[in-house]
Structure 1
Amino acid sequence: MKPPFSDEPSLEVTAPPLQPTVEAFTFSGRGSEYFCIWIVNLLLSIVTLGIYSAWAKVRRTRYFYDNTNLNSSSFEYHGNPLAILKGRIIAVVLIAAYNIAFQLSPILGLLALLLMLGALPWLIWKSYQFKLYNSSYRGIRFGFRGNAKESYVKYLLLPILSVITAGLLLPFAHQRSKKYLHEESKFGKTHFSFDASAGSFYKAYLIAAAIALVGYSVIFMIFGSTALVAFGDPKNAGRDALGLLSLMFFCIYAWTFLIVPLFLSMIQNLIWSHTKLGQHQFHSSLKWSKMAFIMITNLIGIAVTLGLFTPFAQIRALKYRVESVTLNAVGSLDNFVADKEAHGSATSEGISDLLDFDLSL
């Protein structure tokens, strides 16, 4: 240490800042392996009238987690099938009561619908807690703090305002919901952070909307002019118009199918490239062209095999999405500290599954 007022040079050496190392996510699942799990889950769920679906969910999720690796370690899922089954039974009863209420009286049905919508943000909040608490990496569990008030703002108030404003607030609502999910999530005692702006979400939405609009306009221009020619021939007008209409709708569907992977790619890259875990920065490099190729070939495979290609399609899509994400780790990934977290609600998990919500991180 240099003494006070000394003219001698200091011998203290400042440690250089840690350079981040790129840790890639890998997915080792195979379609042939997952097909066995998928077909057994499907058959047993049918035979047991849906009772086995809770065990099917746990088997499926554990397979996905076990085959998702980061820095030579895989993730783990700890969900209890019995807890999920209880939640699903309650969820089925609630949804059945809603349907019966609508049959008895439109007023009762509307009241039941309002009650379910009013409960939905709370269920989403509890489902986040359940999913993250039952997920772990290297023996440390994830967690979700949050609170019901924030959930009601993000998943009830903002969606209602988006509808009232004819979708103008939809990108803002999307950004706020992702910010809420990521910033309230944590790994052990280390919190995630999220810094993507609402403006970046508006940019992604506008790009996708502009490309979609250009494509739809070209389709309508081409088929509109051709339709005028067809209608000019009275003998074949009806037949030609029907053929043109069918071809036009096919082109619209095909163009929409190309826009969807573009939007999904932009949103995933936007979300994960602006997410951190402590000082560790995530990055996503999903390519639209490859995502579109996977989605189109998956659709063809499922159609040709009458659905039997579904597990292979799921593995292909999941593998690409997982392996497009990397983590720029600043320091060791072994320095996280475990923390106690709320268990959440299996009932919420059951309802989210029945309504086909993807609430996973």
Structure 2
Amino acid sequence: MSDSLPSGAKPFQFTGNAKEWFGIWIVNLLLSIVTLGVYSAWAKVRTKKYFHNHTYIEGRNFDYHATGKQIFIGRLIVIVAVVVLQVLTTISPIIGIVLLLGLLVAYPWLIVRSLAFNARMTSFSNVRFGFVGSVGQAFLVFLVYPLLMALTLYTTFPIWDRALKRFSINNHKLGQAKFSMEVGLGPFYKALLVAIAWIVVVGLVGVSLTGFNFTEFAYAMDSLENGSTQGAPMIALFYVLFFVAFLPATFLYQALTRNAVYNNTSLEGGHKFVSNVTAPALLWLAVSNMVVVIFTLFLMLPWAQVRMARYLADHTGFIPGGSMDDFVTQQQKAGGAMGDAFTDLEGIDVGLPI
């Protein structure tokens, strides 16, 4: 695939630099340690704000408007809920089971609230994002589909992955303009088959070249549990083969599906997106970043984060369907100042990893 984006595409630009981000990152880290994690809520806001503020399209950048207090309150609610659940479960297992089932039912609602909050707290050129997904949709995507995956031995993973991305993208909007992603299952299954083929081929070649034996590995694990380190080389070899087989497979899948998703996503008004990341480049970035970060005791983590952000921005483009000035002005008028002020006050982040 060519490194250049299609003609007419406006590339995203990331203008952050490692030195500047390191200064923010190290302060975030030290204050989070000193405050026993309390400051991490404010650190999250500073992180999101930095990366949003330094991401541009045609001279217009993104912004993040949440406050550390909102993030902290959301996390506090989650912690209190977990503690209460643990206490009540200890007192009465039956009550604990009932509450756990209630939390399971409430999970889709929490996801929708979290997505809606983060969308409202994000803007592009002073136009706020929005999220209009329903709890019913979230119930299907986050509870029903995973159950079906388990029942089908995860052969339906691409179906769930596409449903997850459609749920997120198709329910987001910028101002009043809606996003839309329409892509078939073919690219997702193709990406999965390519990833599996990599694992199988690399695994077979690795076993043939190294003489790895699963029976010896099982004995090595047993001996390790009994305090013996005699089988350590075989265990180390297993992890090396696992790393070489599965890590590249993950990035193969990620690169192929990312391109399929972006290249089939549009924004109301005739605007389109493009992506041309490649699995080898993504893998090289991830592996080299990891090696540098580990050997510098994580002090080069800001450099790695900036490096990855710049690569993804350079290989993501936006094809405007008309004047960006007209589009932004129209959406700013549609949103209104009252809406922006309200979003600064309403909602909390429940801290779900989505």
Range into which the TM-score falls when normalised by the shorter chain: 0.7 to 0.9
The residue number in structure 2 matching 1:171 is 158
* Amino acid corresponding to residue 83 of structure 1 in structure 2: Q
Looking at structure 2, the residues matched to 121 and 304 of structure 1 have their Cα atoms a distance apart, in angstroms, of 40
Aligned runs of 1:43-122 on 2, under 5 Å? 43-101=30-88, 110-122=97-109
Query: Which of 120, 124, 127 is 1:140 aligned to?
Result: 127
* Amino acid corresponding to residue 41 of structure 1 in structure 2: N
| Paired residues of 2:122 and 2:128 also in contact (CA < 8 A) | yes
User: What runs of 5+ residues in structure 2 fail to find an aligned partner?
Assistant: 1-6, 217-227
- Identify which range, 124-133 or 248-257, moves more after superposition: 248-257
The residue number in structure 1 matching 2:220 is none
| Paired residues of 1:21 and 1:330 also in contact (CA < 8 A) | no
Aligned runs of 1:162-201 on 2, under 5 Å? 162-201=149-188
The residue number in structure 2 matching 1:277 is 267
| Paired residues of 2:202 and 2:244 also in contact (CA < 8 A) | no
Give CA deviations for 1:289-341 in whole Å, capped at 9, x if unaligned: 21111111111111111111112111111221122100111211123324457
Aligned runs of 1:1-361 on 2, under 5 Å? 21-101=8-88, 110-224=97-211, 242-278=232-268, 279-336=270-327, 337-338=331-332, 339-340=334-335, 343=343, 346-347=347-348, 349-352=349-352, 357=353, 359=354
| Paired residues of 1:280 and 1:328 also in contact (CA < 8 A) | yes
Looking at structure 1, the residues matched to 351 and 33 of structure 2 have their Cα atoms a distance apart, in angstroms, of 19
| Change in 2 beyond 3 A, CA 1:123/1:331 | same
The residue number in structure 1 matching 2:225 is none
Looking at structure 1, the residues matched to 103 and 89 of structure 2 have their Cα atoms a distance apart, in angstroms, of 13
1:350 is paired with a residue of what secondary structure? coil
1:334 is paired with a residue of what secondary structure? helix
Count of equivalent residues: 328
> What RMSD, in angstroms, separates the aligned Cα atoms of the two structures?
2.7
Looking at structure 1, the residues matched to 95 and 76 of structure 2 have their Cα atoms a distance apart, in angstroms, of 22
Give CA deviations for 1:326-358 in whole Å, capped at 9, x if unaligned: 0111211123324457959744x2331xxxx1x
Looking at structure 2, the residues matched to 95 and 61 of structure 1 have their Cα atoms a distance apart, in angstroms, of 26
* Amino acid corresponding to residue 271 of structure 1 in structure 2: V
Q: Structure 1-normalised TM-score?
A: 0.82
1:141 is paired with a residue of what secondary structure? strand
2:326 is paired with a residue of what secondary structure? coil
User: What runs of 5+ residues in structure 1 fail to find an aligned partner?
Assistant: 1-19, 230-237
Give CA deviations for 1:61-96 in whole Å, capped at 9, x if unaligned: 110011000001111111122222211110111223
1:192 is paired with a residue of what secondary structure? strand
Question: What is the CA distance between 1:50 and its match in structure 2?
Answer: 2.2
Looking at structure 1, the residues matched to 146 and 229 of structure 2 have their Cα atoms a distance apart, in angstroms, of 44
Give CA deviations for 1:102-127 in whole Å, capped at 9, x if unaligned: 55566555544433332221111111
**Identical positions, percent:** 31
* Amino acid corresponding to residue 194 of structure 1 in structure 2: M
Looking at structure 1, the residues matched to 32 and 50 of structure 2 have their Cα atoms a distance apart, in angstroms, of 18
Question: What is the CA distance between 1:224 and its match in structure 2?
Answer: 4.3
* Amino acid corresponding to residue 146 of structure 2 in structure 1: P
* Amino acid corresponding to residue 287 of structure 2 in structure 1: I
Looking at structure 1, the residues matched to 256 and 86 of structure 2 have their Cα atoms a distance apart, in angstroms, of 38
| Paired residues of 2:32 and 2:40 also in contact (CA < 8 A) | yes
Looking at structure 1, the residues matched to 196 and 132 of structure 2 have their Cα atoms a distance apart, in angstroms, of 35
| Change in 2 beyond 3 A, CA 1:218/1:77 | same
| Paired residues of 1:223 and 1:248 also in contact (CA < 8 A) | no
| Paired residues of 2:194 and 2:252 also in contact (CA < 8 A) | no
Question: What is the CA distance between 1:226 and its match in structure 2?
Answer: 7.6
| Paired residues of 1:183 and 1:191 also in contact (CA < 8 A) | yes
Question: What is the CA distance between 1:200 and its match in structure 2?
Answer: 2.1
2:204 is paired with a residue of what secondary structure? helix
| Paired residues of 2:65 and 2:121 also in contact (CA < 8 A) | yes
1:21 is paired with a residue of what secondary structure? coil
| Paired residues of 1:223 and 1:244 also in contact (CA < 8 A) | no
| Paired residues of 1:302 and 1:308 also in contact (CA < 8 A) | yes
